[in-house]
Structure 1
Amino acid sequence: MSLSDFRSPLWLLFLLVVAALVAGYVVVQRRRKRDTLKFGNFALLDSVAPKRSKRWQHVSAILVVLGLVFFTVALAGPTKEQKVPRNRATVMLAIDVSLSMQATDVAPSRLQAAQDAAKSFADNLTPGINLGLVAFAGTASVLVSPTTDREATKTAIDNLQLSERTATGEAIFTSLQSISTLAAVIGGSEAPPPARIVLLSDGKQTVPESSDDPRGGFTAARQAQDQGVPVSTISFGTSYGSVDIEGDRIPVPVDDPSLREIANLSGGSFFTASSLEELRRVYETLEEQIGYETTRGDASRPWLILGVLATAAGLTVSLVQRQRLP
């Protein structure tokens, strides 16, 4: 803990007063011992005064001094990092609905598992966050504009329909547009709320062919980074997934490299999941990252409690040992 962790660090100077009290106590105890040795009648003292263990005679003073130290630290206003729910933020959930999502390498299928996990994500996300939904295959569509109405998002997730091809870049561009629209509607002098895109996909971009195309995924990720909107990508599926298309068995392995690069270019995080349980854990991690922010909050209460306990204990010991307060 450094001085920057205190709101009123000047109160720590009171520790010098506490140190002076300790020094005074030591001086008084030595003077009392010296006077006793010089003028005391030990035969009479032994007969009228009960013997006490020297080991415990300073316990009450030590406890009271500790109480003063704890109270002083509390007065200085210590702080610590605390996680608090966000009240202003926008999240766009972009889900791949290309035909490869019907693969059953993830039970019962990639799409059904993605739907189940996405609905849990919507339920558990901090209530104050605006959540929107984008579905993408050959094109991308905003199914739900950012809103705190979780039921609307979950209903749209249940009604996702598969289609051909994968336009990852379009999913990001469409999400960015939806985020910008909400920021314009909110308006005012305040800065727009922080935003993030959570993109789940299982395969390589097919429209356009190059990710560096003006409408490609890498280009979209760079634009997201320019706008301060990180894209957290989830590569969902396995390397051995396949689907039946018009009687042909087509392999549809996941494409980790491109999704990892999108996350890197945009300043987001990259995750992999090959089962429903893994996907749920990924969403739980995202809920923590997105739904909460770290701030410095008051941390004086534990010091106050310690101060009260130490002082009370010191007074109690003094009463038991000496039948009086120090």
Structure 2
Amino acid sequence: MTTPTVVSFSFDVGNGPVELAVRSLAPLNDDQWHRVSAERNVKEAVLQLDQQYREVRPAPSQGHTRLELYSQLYVGAAGGQKGFLGCIRSLKMNGVTLDLEERAKVTPGVKPGCSGHCTSYGMYCRNGGKCIEKYNGYSCDCTSTAYDGTFCTKDVGGFFEAGTLVKYNFMPENTAAVASKDTKGLSRNVAPEGNLTREDLAFSFSTSSAPSILVYISSRTQDYMAVVLRHNGTLQIRYNLGGLQEPFTIDVDQRNLANGQPHTVNITRVDRNIQLQGVPGRLLAPGSSIQPLGTAVQSHQRHHHLPWDLIPALWAAGILWDRR
């Protein structure tokens, strides 16, 4: 590897050095497995990477047809170059498999064994967590689960009874967190990130009750964003962001999601663009859609207010207040 995206194959058969190189569109130092094949015969030299990138060079008209190999074979480094940091397996030369594991046992700084950690330990990523290969280990990606922790075993969810809520103050006043008896909720101060132009919201939910408010984000201005289930259980995003004259809504899914099954929501807002993503087979079709805020497209409908049946719950929670 000459750069994070380039693999080269060079040789000299008596008429000067020849070098082939292939370039990957993505970095190769990504802790994922990659396969390299380099071949030189009497007709041509071929370098191939991941069965996708390939370069072919005709053999020189002059020079030796066979390499006269009287020196040693170096794997991982040679000639004072910067050494390779990672794992090499299935090394073959002229069809003969070289046992790197046995040689690693007697070589300082090289550890034996490189079969892929997820093959042996992937089952420790629980609750749908995804095993991610590392060159010297593995990790569990819990992004698409309702769990957290090293092995996706820490439940970070909560069961809400009727009339209860949890409230986070991202820009708190100089007051301590207090519990509200009227709303049966907890107000908790959270250190602000200082970025008011972007939100990344992701959560999973399961309910058999509709209509209901899943998430409501308000501010000290007229701006807000709400994720709600309508009377028929369909999911809707309602927002008034960036000084819009009228609030807008996005009907995300026309199915009844108040069916007691788990569903996942992923929302990203950057300035006036909102991006919706869903887990395939659960909430949205695979992929994502970007809707510009304030653009009158078919999926947007104007609403001057949140539905009256949802306002009392927000008012009781202290989320809505009289701005007159």
Interval containing the TM-score (normalised by the shorter chain): under 0.3
Kindly indicate which of the two structures has a greater share of residues assigned to strand.
2
Structure (1 or 2) with the greater helix fraction: 1
Q: TM-score, normalised by structure 1?
A: 0.24
- Where relative contact order (Cα < 8 A, 6+ residues apart) is larger, the structure is 1
TM-score (norm 2): 0.24
Rg larger for = 1
